[in-house]
């Protein structure tokens, strides 16, 4: 099923009941919250100061459990079977919604605020399970697609829940009460069909102290640098989104001239964009965790966030516009498109980051890593509120706040990519490779997920390293001929990827020895290293004799060796035959169909140069 659509997961028991359960939970969260907003704002006769007070305290109550209980929730998800915990969480939701119904009926704000805290607790416990269960139930090539479906389902459930909750409360407390209780019951019923997901750390000793455990789970987050920076990226998204959504009610009223229907409409556009972007991630990434989409997403967030400012920098003279009237007004379509595209690129940004955390964190610690992620997210959401309030107090208009956020997004993205150059390198590789080729990847799951290994591959084109680097989930250190390393434009990518330049012994013996030393250091540090044992590009499309340098590397450091073979590259862009680098005319095989296939790893003792050459020839087959 490697090349199949992610939508097939919706027909499987290992995914569909969980997908429905988490979407119903997101629906109910937002149906209850918006029903509460409508009740307090329109049906209780409160003055605007009281409404403002409750509007500000409500988000704080919802987010407070994330600080208090995320660490404990991570332990629960690690120590116990996850499907069983989900069913208990859904029973908790039914009880909370029963209390909500009482609060609606008696118009008791203290009771409803208590329920809001309980629903925050519900989300706190469910969060670590939500993202930790996916790697247990999905294959590696399904992880991006599954995350895309979850993000799509969540964003649409949030939107529909907000609309349904508001509409139900507009008809009175009884319809709102029946809605939230009914959805909670359906969520519990769907949860009963979720298959067991065994505990990943059943012997974990539970720490009841939330403060020391919070510190501990944050240690799990920072343990792996790539995971930590991915969490920072996810949390930054919540900051960015938090600033935008917090400004939306007044932005809709003052700058778009719209009623509540326009606010719902632009939220709908954003949610649809997130859903589309999340679903496209699987297709664009080729069924693998493609972090090259993260810079692509951040660029889009900045560009269309900036355009929202330029589309409507000043307050409008229009008032009380419906959604259709807003679209018909000057600039309406441009603003609507901006909201769709901000959502679209948000999907490109957030889905690979979650998939990267899931694939890089240790399985026995993943739930606690997600719990730590939720704590950091909560801190950034609080920061978003403070940021918006601070800029507003400084006299900035809402479009200016959105402009500042978009500019800050660009600066933060640049900073993150200096911390994790792998993100930027994968983006540039992804752009180049997918512009020039159509690639099919097979067997890369045979490459170890952790620990040192040596990759050996035939050498056909100047793009070989980028193709391999963009197709293997882990970062790869390439050993490459120094003249290829120095090619303009590609040099930046190779240097960013910490490629190791090498020369022949007669050309530069010092560079040759430095290369072998650096390869040994990389393998000692548990990294992947890829070499091209032919020593240069093929001149006729055939595989040349493998040189003994590979044996010299393995004699110094005995690590597993994974044979790779590139197919279909001979005659394509940047191969010697018909290459624009070698001839004055364009190549005949632009957008060529190519392949990369990985074979079974060999122990160092069996990996002589002739054996590896034979394995690579077999993997490549007759297709050069």
| Shared-domain flag, residues 255 and 376 | yes
pLDDT at 581: 46
> If you compute the radius of gyration of the chain from its CA atoms, what whole number of angstroms results?
27
Greatest mean pLDDT among 65-74, 426-435, 481-490 lies in: 65-74
Query: Are 119 and 244 within 8 A, CB to CB?
Result: no
Mean pLDDT of all residues in 428-435: 76
Q: Is it the case that residue 447 has pLDDT exceeding 80?
A: yes
* 156/257 same-domain check: no
Residues 159 and 35 grouped into a single domain: yes
Would you say residue 424 lies in a domain? Answer: no
CATH of residue 199's domain is 1.20.1250.20
Query: Across residues 547-574, what is the average pLDDT?
Result: 88
pLDDT at 106: 92
Tell me whether residue 211 is in a domain.
Answer: no
pLDDT tier for residue 2 given thresholds of 50, 70 and 90: very low
Q: What angle do CA 462, 467, 472 make, to 5 degrees?
A: 145
Model pLDDT, residue 484: 77
Asked whether residue 471 is assigned to any structural domain, the reply reads yes
Q: What is the pTM of this model?
A: 0.75
| Domain end residue (candidates: 419, 451, 483) | 419
| Cα angle 448-452-456, degrees, rounded to a multiple of 5 | 75
For residue 181, the enclosing domain spans 7-206
pLDDT at 585: 42
Domains identified in the chain, total number: 3
Assign residue 603 the CATH number of its domain: 3.40.1130.10
Query: Does residue 539 surpass a pLDDT of 90?
Result: no
What H or E segment, with its residue span, contains residue 511?
helix 509-524
pLDDT-based confidence at 51, cuts 50/70/90? Answer: low
144 and 22 fall within a common domain: yes
Q: By three-state DSSP, how is residue 504 classified? A: coil
Q: Which residue has the higher pLDDT, 483 or 8?
A: 8
Given 206, 234, 252, the domain boundary residue is: 206
* pLDDT per residue as tens digits for the range 189-219: 999 999 999 999 999 998 888 889 989 999 9
Among 365, 392, 419, residue at a domain's last position: 419
CB-CB neighbours of 484 under 10 Å: 23
Average confidence (pLDDT) over 410-434: 75
pLDDT-above-90 percentage for the chain:
46
Task: Spell out the alpha helix ranges (H) of 14-47.
Answer: 16-42
Share of the chain above pLDDT 70, in %: 92
Total residue length of the chain? 624
Q: Which pLDDT does position 613 carry in this prediction? A: 93
- Three-state SS at 566: strand
pLDDT at 582 over 70: no
The pLDDT tens digits for 304-343 are 999 999 999 998 888 888 889 999 999 999 999 999 999 9
Instruction: Tell me: pLDDT of 573 over 80.
Output: no
CB neighbours of 237 closer than 8 A, spacing ≥ 6?
A: 346, 349, 350, 353
């Amino acid at each position: 099923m490697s090349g199949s659509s992610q939508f097939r997961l919706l027909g499987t028991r290992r995914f569909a009941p969980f997908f429905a359960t988490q979407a119903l939970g997101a629906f109910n969260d937002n149906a209850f919250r918006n029903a509460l907003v409508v009740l307090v704002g329109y049906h209780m006769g409160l003055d605007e100061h009281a409404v403002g007070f409750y509007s500000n305290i409500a988000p704080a109550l919802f987010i407070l459990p994330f600080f208090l209980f995320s660490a404990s929730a991570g332990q629960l998800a690690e120590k116990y079977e996850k499907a069983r915990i989900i069913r208990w969480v859904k029973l908790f939701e039914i009880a909370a919604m029963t209390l909500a119904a009482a609060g609606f009926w008696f118009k008791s704000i203290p009771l409803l605020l208590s329920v809001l805290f309980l629903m925050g607790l519900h989300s706190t416990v469910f969060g670590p399970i939500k993202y930790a269960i996916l790697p247990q139930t999905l294959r590696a090539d399904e992880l991006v697609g599954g995350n895309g479906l979850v993000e799509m389902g969540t964003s649409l459930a949030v939107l529909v829940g907000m609309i349904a909750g508001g509409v139900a409360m507009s008809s009175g407390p009884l319809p709102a009460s029946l809605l939230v209780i009914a959805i909670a019951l359906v969520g519990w019923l769907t949860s009963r069909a979720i298959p067991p997901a065994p505990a990943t750390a059943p012997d974990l000793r539970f720490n009841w102290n939330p403060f020391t455990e919070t510190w501990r789970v944050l240690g799990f987050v920072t343990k792996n640098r790539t995971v930590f920076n991915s969490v920072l990226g996810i949390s930054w998204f919540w900051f960015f989104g938090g600033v935008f959504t917090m400004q939306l009610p007044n932005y809709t009223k003052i700058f778009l001239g719209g009623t509540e229907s326009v606010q719902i409409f632009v939220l709908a556009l954003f949610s649809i964009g997130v859903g589309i972007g999340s679903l496209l991630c699987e297709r664009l990434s080729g069924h693998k965790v493609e972090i090259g989409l993260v810079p692509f997403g951040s660029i889009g967030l900045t560009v269309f966030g900036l355009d929202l400012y330029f589309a409507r920098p000043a307050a409008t003279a229009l008032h009380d516009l419906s959604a259709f009237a807003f679209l018909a007004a000057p600039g309406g379509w441009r603003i609507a498109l901006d909201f769709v595209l901000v959502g679209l690129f948000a999907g490109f940004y957030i889905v690979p980051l979650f998939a990267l955390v899931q694939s890089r964190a240790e399985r026995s610690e993943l739930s606690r890593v997600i719990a730590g992620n939720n704590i950091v997210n909560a801190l950034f959401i609080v920061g978003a509120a403070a940021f918006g309030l601070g800029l507003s107090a400084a006299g900035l208009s809402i479009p200016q706040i959105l402009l500042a956020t978009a500019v800050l997004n660009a600066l933060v993205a640049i900073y993150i990519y200096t911390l994790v150059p792998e993100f930027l390198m994968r983006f540039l590789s992804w752009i180049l490779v997918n512009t020039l080729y159509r690639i099919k990847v097979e067997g890369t799951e045979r490459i170890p997920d952790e620990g040192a290994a040596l990759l050996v591959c035939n050498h056909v084109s100047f793009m070989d390293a980028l193709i391999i680097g963009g197709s293997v989930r882990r970062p790869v250190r390439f050993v490459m001929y120094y003249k290829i390393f120095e090619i303009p434009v590609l040099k930046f990518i190779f240097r960013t990827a910490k490629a190791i330049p090498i020369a022949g012994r007669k050309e530069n013996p010092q560079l040759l020895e430095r290369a072998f030393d650096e390869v040994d250091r990389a393998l000692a540090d548990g990294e992947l290293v890829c070499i091209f044992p032919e020593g240069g590009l093929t001149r006729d499309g055939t595989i040349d004799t493998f040189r003994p340098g590979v044996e010299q590397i393995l004699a110094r450091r005995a690590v597993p060796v994974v044979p790779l073979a590139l197919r279909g590259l001979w005659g394509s862009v940047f191969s010697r035959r018909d290459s624009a680098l070698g001839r004055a005319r364009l190549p005949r095989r632009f957008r060529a169909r190519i392949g990369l296939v990985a074979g079974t790893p060999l122990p160092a003792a069996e990996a002589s140069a002739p054996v590896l050459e034979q394995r690579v020839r077999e993997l490549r087959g007759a297709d050069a």
